[in-house]
Structure 1
Amino acid sequence: MKASLLSDTIFENITNSNGKFTNHFHDTYTIGLTHDGIFKSIHEHKTTLAYQYSTRVINPGEVHCGDSHAWQYTNFYPNVELLSNLYEQMYGEKKMPVFEKHIIQDDELYRRLVSFFRSVYTHEEAMVTESKLINALSYLIANYTRLATPYPFACKEKNTMSMAVEYIHEYLDTEISLENLSEAAMVSKYHFLRLFKNHTGLTPHQYIIAERIHRAKELVLEGESLALAGLHAGFSDQSHFIRSFRKIYGYSPKTLLQKSNFILYK
């Protein structure tokens, strides 16, 4: 039996990353540890160096990129529901924690996360893994939450950019045109390009590529072949899929086939 809190959560353990990461985002949190090497992180237009034994935290939707040098790291991507549920258990209200620091030099946090990651990768019993997860994330929330926003993000009327984003998610595996998106948002193409960049921090093309890469990664970890994963995520050209994947994650999608380093927790 596995820890239910972590259902469909992706884990990755990379031993030697060298190269640049292009601008991208995640719908989930990113919480990771730097074990060795150096990572120059460009996050929310600020550059920070991540050194050995530091923790790296990215809130959902935050655009980031960077440059790695002999970087050894472990990441996982917990969803908003998980962090919001834990925040509610701690403080009595269902909110999404927003973390202030991006790179955190805290030996206690690092130790707790290492213990949790080891539990996942050695397939310890669900109760042990969940206990270590709560132990690590509750410490992170208690010490580094900047603010908490209402969750879920319910609103009676969806704004124009939200409708465009929904269109992208629904038709991700098809050819999406600027006309499709501007019509979904009910604005001109000129206004759409400006509003979308302001809303997401990315151009529509960058956003679509990032979403397709995330989807393809999930499909590969679920057992799909690389060729079919790229195709089903919306890439008609396999070489384009491979190049785009490497720009976002810093490694080839073939690396995902090293099952000992990657886990899609079910």
Structure 2
Amino acid sequence: MEQDSQFRFIKSVHLPEVTALEAAMDTFTYDKHAHEEYAFGVTLSGRQDFFSNGVYHRSPPGNIIQLNPDAVHDGNSGGDEPLNYVMLYVHPRQIEPLFANAAGAEEASDIRMSETLTHDPVLRGHLMELVRLIANNVGSRIDQEHALYQIASRVVQRVGRFEPDEVARRADVLLRRAKDFIHNHVDADLSLEEISDAANLSKYHFLRLFRRQYGITPHQYVINCRINAARTALEAGEPVNDVVYRYGFSDLSHFNRRFKRIYGMTPRQYQQSVTA
């Protein structure tokens, strides 16, 4: 780990698919990556610089970062002051039923946050409260459930129902097939042709469409999915050496490098952090 950077991941003991991160960064830079979860961050001090959704963002203290699942982004400390921030990672399975309830709908998988960077003191307060409960392991299950529902309600209040246009919807359907295929074969040696076949698209048309839609190549997305799957295995307590080869990394050194550029620590350090 970088000497001037500290990362602390804490899994909620009450909400099985919610993880909090407390981070302090100076020179560390995240590689371009994406999470399966919704991610909500609050910049506490310094400035958080990152690229996402085709735009370069700068987040000063008090601002909120919102990332939809699979939103490609990077990140580093900007300005002269060290960066301190917190993040919440919430799996769609955990929060989308709350979105639906808040929206008065049967399901809400099509709700997406349109603002990557925003200033909302109400939402910031809800986020900081859930981070506090998880990081300090205080309060009951109902306290954390209520805090998460407050977050979901505020998000729905701000964005309403997201309805993509018909062209975007058709592209989403085809690319979703490809992404589902990748997730279902994350431990296999996949080829571009196999993935594009799953989307019923020609190989190079699929490559262009995928990169334009998500900002990374299918190969980069496969690596990202392997890292995320490995992270889940580590959280379940599986030995690091077993995880390395299952998800296609050539050796532990390769796995360490890839993992650290996304999570700021080695796989072993991450496992010790969330299972302590």
**TM band (smaller chain):** 0.7 to 0.9
C-alpha deviation, 1:42, in angstroms: 0.9
Partner of 2:36: 27
Contact kept? 1:182, 1:192, Cα under 8 Å: yes
Q: Distance in 2 between matches of 1:39 and 1:27?
A: 21
Q: Distance in 2 between matches of 1:166 and 1:141?
A: 26
Q: Distance in 1 between matches of 2:226 and 2:152?
A: 29
TM-score by length of 2: 0.79
1:137 corresponds, among 138, 147, 152, to 152
2:91 corresponds, among 51, 62, 79, to 79
Aligned 1:47-126 pairs, distance under 5 A = 47-68=56-77, 70-93=82-105, 94-95=107-108, 96-123=110-137, 124-126=139-141
Partner of 1:249: 263
Q: Distance in 2 between matches of 1:215 and 1:113?
A: 26
- Aligned positions, number: 254
Contact kept? 2:37, 2:89, Cα under 8 Å: yes
Gaps of 5+ in 2: 1-11
Contact kept? 1:18, 1:250, Cα under 8 Å: no
Partner of 1:127: 142
TM superposition outliers: structure 1 runs of 4+ over 6 Å: none
Secondary structure of 2:76's match?
strand
Note the alpha carbon deviations across 1:140-188, whole angstroms, 9 max, x for none. 332x3164359xxxx9xx9553333233222211222223334434444
Greater Cα shift, 227-236 or 249-258: 249-258
C-alpha deviation, 1:206, in angstroms: 0.5
**Which AA in structure 2 matches 1:78?**
V
Gaps of 5+ in 1: none
Contact kept? 2:40, 2:127, Cα under 8 Å: no
Aligned 1:136-155 pairs, distance under 5 A = 136-142=151-157, 144-145=158-159, 147-149=161-163
For the aligned residues, what is the CA RMSD?
A: 2.9
Secondary structure of 2:87's match?
strand
CA change 1:71–1:258 in 2 (3 A) is: farther
C-alpha deviation, 1:241, in angstroms: 1.6
Contact kept? 2:33, 2:262, Cα under 8 Å: yes
CA change 1:22–1:16 in 2 (3 A) is: closer
Secondary structure of 1:240's match?
helix
**Which AA in structure 1 matches 2:87?**
N
Residue 219 in 1 paired to residue 256 in 2?
no
TM-score by length of 1: 0.81
Residue 39 in 1 paired to residue 48 in 2?
yes
Q: Distance in 2 between matches of 1:254 and 1:68?
A: 25
Q: Distance in 2 between matches of 1:52 and 1:26?
A: 23
Q: Which has the higher contact order (CA 8 A, sep 6+)?
A: 1
Larger strand share, 1 or 2: 1
Q: Distance in 2 between matches of 1:219 and 1:161?
A: 26
CA change 1:17–1:255 in 2 (3 A) is: farther
Contact kept? 2:111, 2:162, Cα under 8 Å: yes
C-alpha deviation, 1:213, in angstroms: 0.9
Contact kept? 1:53, 1:105, Cα under 8 Å: yes
